[in-house]
């Protein structure tokens, strides 16, 4: 009896121990931290961590990692030394950035979007990351979008630089130019054929050239809030639309296999969006939460780091669009042109933002008791475009006890010196080039065959970009400026972007706009199949800065288009020591000085046609 009881006791104890061990192991499993942890729908929007330069230097270690999610899509993240994701890098003009990038990517079988086979490292071979140009799902590098830094290894080269897993940390090291306009820039990988997958998975972060309050005194003393809007694969791709939506025709797909533009503002979106990684998924779009103080003015610095999604941002109080005090586009203050007031603010009620572009604007917090929403309105991307419907991004919740954003701009800034170079709009271009966006079904008889995407210099043969050709499509000369007319011969929007420099938008759809500010990304409207001419933009490109010397790329910033070939290479040769120099010609384009923003403002008020 006694023996039996002790055996029972022993068995019981053993069972308890086993159970505890199993529970502990299950607990460990479920508590295993995600490699790239992300907030949940409806969460509060937190600022990315700010890393600021000290004594003129910002030094950091960044690791790029990836993981497979339950739905099979791949998540990517940049982690700093403390495990914080996608930190915002703050530097002043002249500061030195030292960024050690470690590649910890694992191969989850992501395939290249290009027709070209991926190029892997030969077994056992160590390639030079500066020259290998390896294109594989586990290769990485960095592009610093918008900065005028040289296109050379360890600075901002994306044509040859390729870092592999197992390589020692690769050092990016460059100075922010003294004349870089203060504003919002960003970093992301740029391995041809894999950019869409990595950016869609979250590989992006903000870089701020500090001092915007020195350029525009209207923002002095304001709290600043960085909002990075990314797109991602749908969390609920098979869900029916929300009950409040009108019934849409059956979903169709565009040439990239994304949900096709319904032209209605409703229907399944091509991608979900997130705000500082807080997802706002289809079909109900539960808003993220932005906490503000009632009535407080803030500078919102918004980056569209979506892979393919156009934004059309607005702030609604009780459904009424609010004025947004725009102060900068694509990292450049709107008063970059001499003569524009030092406290210039352009009031807009909605802001079109193509993928890759940035907008910086003043928002006044709502009074208590008002329903305040940050939304993106629909964008008509064209018959061949993907669906970008109306959606709420965030709800603005106000309370006097809400914390202010962690950073505040200087209240009493020293004004920036005026630009050393003449205004771009008053410099005579040395030539005019014509380029065009187009698309081609690889089998014209089969509408379901793959599509190739091109950007072609007029007179050349349309050809998907070959990163290994080494042959430039365009050769330009440092010290000059050029006008480029870019047509869209396809029936969907494209977003023209060029590395290393900013440009001025002279004409939009054939109408002079002579914008008194600069951009690095611009929407090009789609062809409707009926007009006598193709829609176009005319840009003035600035090759005056010596940092533009070298080989670099221009492309559509819809990344599935650039991955599939919509990219070209430019070679900027060093300036001639003698010969032609740029001339001043303020008469070449009458600048709309009295009403600097009264021309058609394509990206601010409408990303579409
Ligand atoms: Cu495109």
Tell how far the Cα of 573 is from the centroid of ligand 1, in angstroms.
28
Tell how far the Cα of 71 is from the centroid of ligand 1, in angstroms.
27
Task: Grade residue 383 by pLDDT with cuts at 50, 70 and 90.
Answer: confident
Beta strands in 351-406 (DSSP E): 351-353, 358-364, 372-376, 391-398
Residue of higher predicted confidence among 267 and 219 = 219
Tell how far the Cα of 3 is from the centroid of ligand 1, in angstroms.
81
Tell how far the Cα of 293 is from the centroid of ligand 1, in angstroms.
39
SS3 74: strand
Tell how far the Cα of 87 is from the centroid of ligand 1, in angstroms.
28
- Block residue for tokens 């330069």: 53
- Contact partners, residue 369, CB within 8 Å, separation at least 6: none
Helix (H) or strand (E) holding 337, with range, is none
- Given a cut of 80, is residue 607 above it in pLDDT? no
Tell how far the Cα of 8 is from the centroid of ligand 1, in angstroms.
73
- Block residue for tokens 């109900």: 284
Tell how far the Cα of 566 is from the centroid of ligand 1, in angstroms.
7
pLDDT per residue as tens digits for the range 454-490: 999 999 999 999 988 899 999 999 999 999 999 999 9
Tell how far the Cα of 257 is from the centroid of ligand 1, in angstroms.
14
Tell how far the Cα of 309 is from the centroid of ligand 1, in angstroms.
11
pLDDT per residue as tens digits for the range 396-453: 999 999 998 989 999 999 999 988 899 999 999 999 999 999 999 888 888 777 888 9
pLDDT of amino acid 255 = 72
**Prior bond of 283 cis (ω within 30°):** yes
pLDDT of amino acid 609 = 34
Tell how far the Cα of 561 is from the centroid of ligand 1, in angstroms.
5
- Given a cut of 70, is residue 196 above it in pLDDT? yes
Helix (H) or strand (E) holding 188, with range, is strand 183-188
> Among candidates 190, 226, 294, which has minimal Cα distance to 567?
190
- Contact partners, residue 51, CB within 8 Å, separation at least 6: 58, 60, 80, 87, 88, 89, 90
SS3 205: strand
Tell how far the Cα of 416 is from the centroid of ligand 1, in angstroms.
36
Share of the chain above pLDDT 90, in %: 72
Supply the mean pLDDT for the chain: 88
- 494-498 and 521-524 as β-strands: parallel, antiparallel, unpaired? antiparallel
Tell how far the Cα of 563 is from the centroid of ligand 1, in angstroms.
10
Beta bridge partners of 62: 80, 101
Tell how far the Cα of 551 is from the centroid of ligand 1, in angstroms.
22
pLDDT per residue as tens digits for the range 135-188: 999 999 999 999 999 999 999 999 999 999 999 999 999 999 999 999 999 999
Tell how far the Cα of 437 is from the centroid of ligand 1, in angstroms.
8
Measured CA to CA, the distance from residue 453 to residue 566 in angstroms comes to: 5
SS3 8: helix
Tell how far the Cα of 204 is from the centroid of ligand 1, in angstroms.
19
pLDDT per residue as tens digits for the range 38-67: 999 999 999 999 999 999 999 999 999 999
pLDDT of amino acid 267 = 83
pLDDT of amino acid 263 = 74
- Contact partners, residue 151, CB within 8 Å, separation at least 6: 157, 158, 159, 499, 500, 548, 550, 551, 552
Residue of higher predicted confidence among 497 and 7 = 497
Residue of higher predicted confidence among 426 and 119 = 426
Q: What is the DSSP string of 83-128?
A: S-BSPEEEE-TTPEEEEEEEEE-----PPPSSSSPP-PPPTT----
- 432-441 and 451-457 as β-strands: parallel, antiparallel, unpaired? antiparallel
Tell how far the Cα of 558 is from the centroid of ligand 1, in angstroms.
5
Helices (H), 377-454: none
- Given a cut of 60, is residue 334 above it in pLDDT? yes
Tell how far the Cα of 404 is from the centroid of ligand 1, in angstroms.
38
- Given a cut of 60, is residue 225 above it in pLDDT? yes
Asked whether the beta carbons of 435 and 476 are under 8 A apart, the reply is no
Tell how far the Cα of 166 is from the centroid of ligand 1, in angstroms.
34
Tell how far the Cα of 490 is from the centroid of ligand 1, in angstroms.
9
- Contact partners, residue 352, CB within 8 Å, separation at least 6: 310, 311, 312, 379, 523, 602, 603, 604, 605, 606, 607, 608
Beta bridge partners of 362: 299, 325
Tell how far the Cα of 590 is from the centroid of ligand 1, in angstroms.
31
Tell how far the Cα of 494 is from the centroid of ligand 1, in angstroms.
4
pLDDT of amino acid 122 = 67
Phi, then psi, of 447 in degrees rounded to 5: -65, -15
Q: How many residues does the chain have?
A: 609
Tell how far the Cα of 499 is from the centroid of ligand 1, in angstroms.
16
Task: Grade residue 15 by pLDDT with cuts at 50, 70 and 90.
Answer: very low
- Given a cut of 70, is residue 493 above it in pLDDT? yes
Residue of higher predicted confidence among 539 and 22 = 539
Tell how far the Cα of 527 is from the centroid of ligand 1, in angstroms.
13
Task: Grade residue 242 by pLDDT with cuts at 50, 70 and 90.
Answer: confident
Measured CA to CA, the distance from residue 68 to residue 83 in angstroms comes to: 18
Beta bridge partners of 593: none
Helix, strand, coil abundance in the chain, percent, nearest 5: 10, 35, 55
Beta bridge partners of 497: 521, 555
Residue of higher predicted confidence among 181 and 6 = 181
Task: Grade residue 367 by pLDDT with cuts at 50, 70 and 90.
Answer: very high
Helix (H) or strand (E) holding 13, with range, is helix 2-31
Task: Grade residue 577 by pLDDT with cuts at 50, 70 and 90.
Answer: low
- Given a cut of 70, is residue 554 above it in pLDDT? yes
Q: Tokens for 200?
A: 């869609």
- Given a cut of 50, is residue 134 above it in pLDDT? yes
Task: Grade residue 103 by pLDDT with cuts at 50, 70 and 90.
Answer: very high
Q: Tokens for 248?
A: 């849409």
Tell how far the Cα of 342 is from the centroid of ligand 1, in angstroms.
36
Q: Tokens for 442?
A: 């690889």
């Amino acid at each position: 009896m006694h023996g039996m009881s002790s055996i029972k006791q022993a068995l019981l104890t053993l069972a308890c121990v086993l159970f505890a061990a199993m529970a502990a192991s299950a607990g460990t499993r479920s508590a295993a931290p995600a490699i790239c942890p992300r907030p949940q729908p409806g969460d509060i929007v937190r600022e990315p961590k700010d890393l600021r330069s000290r004594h003129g230097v910002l030094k950091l270690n960044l690791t790029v990692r990836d993981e497979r999610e339950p739905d099979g899509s791949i998540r990517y993240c940049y982690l700093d030394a403390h495990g914080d994701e996608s930190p915002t890098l703050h530097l002043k003009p002249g500061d030195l950035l030292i960024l050690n990038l470690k590649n910890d990517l694992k191969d989850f079988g992501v395939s290249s979007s290009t027709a070209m086979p991926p190029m892997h490292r030969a077994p056992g071979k160590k390639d030079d990351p500066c020259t290998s140009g390896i294109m594989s799902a586990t290769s990485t590098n960095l592009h610093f979008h918008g900065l005028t830094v040289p296109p050379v290894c360890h600075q901002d080269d994306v044509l040859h630089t390729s870092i592999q897993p197992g390589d020692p940390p690769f050092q990016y090291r460059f100075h922010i130019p003294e004349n870089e306009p203060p504003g919002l820039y960003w970093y992301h990988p740029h391995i041809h054929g894999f950019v869409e997958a990595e950016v869609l998975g979250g590989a992006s972060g903000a870089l701020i050239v500090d001092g915007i309050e020195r350029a525009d005194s209207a923002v002095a003393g304001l709290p600043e809030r960085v909002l990075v809007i990314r797109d991602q694969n749908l969390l609920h791709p098979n869900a029916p639309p929300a009950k409040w939506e009108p019934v849409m025709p059956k979903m169709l797909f565009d040439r990239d296999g994304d949900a096709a533009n319904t032209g209605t503002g409703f229907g399944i979106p091509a991608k979900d969006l997130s705000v500082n990684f807080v997802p706002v998924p289809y079909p109900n779009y539960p808003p993220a939460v932005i906490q503000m103080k009632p009535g407080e003015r803030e500078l919102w610095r918004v980056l569209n780091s979506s892979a393919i999604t156009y934004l059309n941002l607005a702030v609604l109080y009780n459904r009424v669009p609010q004025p947004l005090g725009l102060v900068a586009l694509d990292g450049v203050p709107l008063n970059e042109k001499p003569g524009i007031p030092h406290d210039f603010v352009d009031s807009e009620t909605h802001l079109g933002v193509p993928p890759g572009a940035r907008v910086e604007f003043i928002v006044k917090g709502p009074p208590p008791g008002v329903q305040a929403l940050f939304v993106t309105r629909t964008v008509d991307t064209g018959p061949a475009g993907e669906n970008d419907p109306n959606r709420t991004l965030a709800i603005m919740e106000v309370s006097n006890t809400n914390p202010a954003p962690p950073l505040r701009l200087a209240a009493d800034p020293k004004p920036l010196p005026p630009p050393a170079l003449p205004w771009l709009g008053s410099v005579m271009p040395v030539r005019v080039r014509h380029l065009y966006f187009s698309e081609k079904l690889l089998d014209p008889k089969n509408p379901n065959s793959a599509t190739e995407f091109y950007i072609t210099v007029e007179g050349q043969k349309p050809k998907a970009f070959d990163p290994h050709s080494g042959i430039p499509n365009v050769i330009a000369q440092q010290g000059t400026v050029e006008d480029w007319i870019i047509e869209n011969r396809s029936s969907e929007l494209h977003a023209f972007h060029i590395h290393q420099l900013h440009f001025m938008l002279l004409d939009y759809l054939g109408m002079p706009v002579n914008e008194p500010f600069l951009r690095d990304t611009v929407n090009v409207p789609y062809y409707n199949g009926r007009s006598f001419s193709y829609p176009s933009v005319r840009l003035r490109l600035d090759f005056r800065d010596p940092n533009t010397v070298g080989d670099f790329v221009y492309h559509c910033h819809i990344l599935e288009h650039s991955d599939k070939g919509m990219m070209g290479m430019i070679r900027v040769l060093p300036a001639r020591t003698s010969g032609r120099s740029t001339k001043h010609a303020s008469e070449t384009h009458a600048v709309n000085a009295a009403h600097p923003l009264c021309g058609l403002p394509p990206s601010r008020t409408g990303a579409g046609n």
